[in-house]
């Protein structure tokens, strides 16, 4: 007998009905969440939990790298920054150095905030076009 979990259903529905831009925003937010969980686990001396959380953040960064649209010149610069973030996460995980996690957090926050602005601009243009009809 399956147990209905409304939260899981909501999460699944939000992923399946989101635009590609919204999915990318979710990835950034997830990455930030896992880096912060890793930092907290490190502070609490829970090294296995830290490792799991940081590996989840790395998986998201890898996904972001794989889904870059290389037809845009800026993608190459983004790839370099993603590789840097990934190296900070790896080094921070190995060395148990929260400062390296902070470097990764800063870059991912910048990407997330910029991406959020892009989505908002696109939405306002979309609504402006609808109002012109």
pLDDT in tens, 62-96: 999 999 998 999 999 999 999 999 999 999 999 99
Residue whose C-alpha is closest to residue 115's, from 33, 20, 15, 17 = 20
Half-sphere exposure of 30 (CA within 13 A, CB side): 18
Write the burial class of residue 49 (CB in 10 Å: 0-12 exposed, 13-18 middle, 19+ buried).
middle
Q: What pTM, to 2 d.p., does this model score?
A: 0.82
Task: Give yes or no for a contact between 92 and 100, defined as CB atoms under 8 angstroms apart.
Answer: yes
Report whether pLDDT(12) > 80.
no
Percent of the chain with pLDDT over 70: 83
Q: How far apart, in Å, are the Cα atoms of 77 and each of 42, 65, 68?
A: 31, 11, 11
Mean local confidence (pLDDT), 17-38 = 93
Mean local confidence (pLDDT), 97-122 = 95
């Amino acid at each position: 007998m399956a147990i209905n979990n409304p939260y899981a259903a909501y999460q699944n529905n939000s992923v399946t009905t989101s635009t590609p831009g919204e999915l990318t925003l979710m990835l950034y937010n997830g990455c930030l969440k896992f880096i912060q969980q890793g930092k907290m686990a490190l502070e609490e001396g829970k090294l296995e939990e830290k490792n799991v959380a940081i590996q989840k953040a790395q998986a998201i960064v890898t996904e972001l790298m794989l889904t870059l649209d290389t037809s845009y010149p800026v993608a190459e610069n983004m790839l370099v920054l993603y590789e840097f973030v990934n190296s900070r996460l790896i080094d921070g995980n190995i060395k148990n150095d929260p400062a390296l996690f902070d470097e990764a957090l800063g870059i991912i926050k910048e990407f997330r905030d910029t991406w959020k602005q892009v989505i908002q601009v696109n939405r306002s243009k979309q609504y402006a076009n609808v109002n012109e009809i």
